[in-house]
C-alpha cells in the first residue's frame, strides 16, 4: 500500500499507485500509440458487440454470456461469472433469461447432480455460429492472411500481460 499522500498530492494519484503496476518514467512513442490504438479497438469492439446483440434481439451481457458458453461448453455458472467479471447473482439472472429464451440449458453434471453446467441449445448454437461468421467476415477485411498471422503473437502477448495484471489485482 502506498504511503499517505504528501501535502499537495492528490488522492487520485495514491489510488492509481495502489492499483497499477509501476511503469517506466520514459514511455516510447510506440507504447503511447499502441495504448491509444488498443483503447480505440476496445471501444470499437464494445460497439460491435452492442450492434450484434441488437441484431439478434439480445442484451449485450446476455450475448457475451452466450458466446462464452459457446467457447466453453459445460462451463459452470460460477466460472461464467468469473469469465464475465460479474456477480453470481447477475449471472444467474443472465442464465435465467438465456434459458427462458431457449438459447442455453442448465444440465446436471453426470457425476454430481448438484453441479450444474451450461450448454447451448440448438437455437443458441445457431446464433453463436451466425455471429462467429459475421465477426470472421469483418476481421477478414482487415488484412491478408500473412498480416493477420503476423499480428497474432503481439496480440496474444498483450492479452496475457493484461490478464496477468488483472489476476494479480483479483488474487
Return d(Cα 80, Cα 127) in angstroms, integer: 19
- Select 47-140's CATH number: 1.10.1670.10, 3.40.50.300, 1.10.10.10, 1.10.3720.10: 1.10.10.10
pLDDT at 24: 65
Give the residues across from 109 on adjacent strands.
112
- Report pLDDT for 1: 43
Q: Which residues pair with 78 in a beta bridge?
A: none
pLDDT by residue (tens digit) across 78-92? 999 999 999 999 999
Q: How far apart are CA 156 and CA 23, in angstroms?
A: 21
**Alpha-carbon span 143 to 127, nearest angstrom:** 26
- Per-position pLDDT tens, the chain of length 171: 444 444 444 445 555 555 666 666 667 788 889 999 999 999 999 999 999 999 999 999 999 999 999 999 999 999 999 999 999 999 999 999 999 999 999 999 777 778 899 999 999 999 999 999 999 999 999 999 999 999 999 999 999 999 898 887 665
Q: Name residues whose C-beta falls within 8 Å of residue 68's C-beta, 6 or more positions apart in sequence.
A: 75, 80, 83, 84
Q: What's residue 3's pLDDT?
A: 46
pLDDT in tens, 59-75: 999 999 999 999 999 99
3-state secondary structure of 142: coil
pTM over 0.75: yes
Q: List the domain boundaries for the chain.
A: 47-140, 144-171
pLDDT in tens, 11-29: 455 555 556 666 666 677 8
Amino acid at each position: 500500500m502506498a504511503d499517505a499522500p504528501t501535502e499537495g498530492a492528490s488522492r487520485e494519484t495514491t489510488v492509481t499507485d495502489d492499483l497499477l503496476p509501476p511503469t517506466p518514467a520514459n514511455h516510447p512513442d510506440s507504447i503511447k500509440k499502441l495504448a491509444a490504438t488498443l483503447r480505440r479497438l476496445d471501444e470499437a469492439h464494445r460497439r460491435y458487440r452492442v450492434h450484434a446483440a441488437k441484431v439478434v434481439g439480445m442484451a449485450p451481457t446476455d450475448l457475451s454470456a452466450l458466446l462464452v458458453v459457446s467457447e466453453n461448453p459445460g462451463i459452470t455458472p460460477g466460472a461464467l461469472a468469473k469469465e464475465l467479471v460479474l456477480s453470481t447473482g447477475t449471472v444467474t439472472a443472465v442464465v435465467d433469461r438465456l434459458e427462458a429464451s431457449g438459447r442455453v440449458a442448465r444440465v446436471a453434471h453426470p457425476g454430481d447432480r448438484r453441479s450444474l453446467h451450461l450448454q447451448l441449445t440448438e437455437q443458441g448454437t445457431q446464433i453463436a455460429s451466425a455471429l462467429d461468421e459475421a465477426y470472421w467476415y469483418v476481421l477478414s477485411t482487415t488484412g491478408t492472411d500473412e498480416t493477420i498471422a503476423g499480428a497474432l503473437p503481439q496480440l496474444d502477448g498483450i492479452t496475457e500481460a493484461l490478464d496477468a495484471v488483472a489476476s494479480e489485482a483479483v488474487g
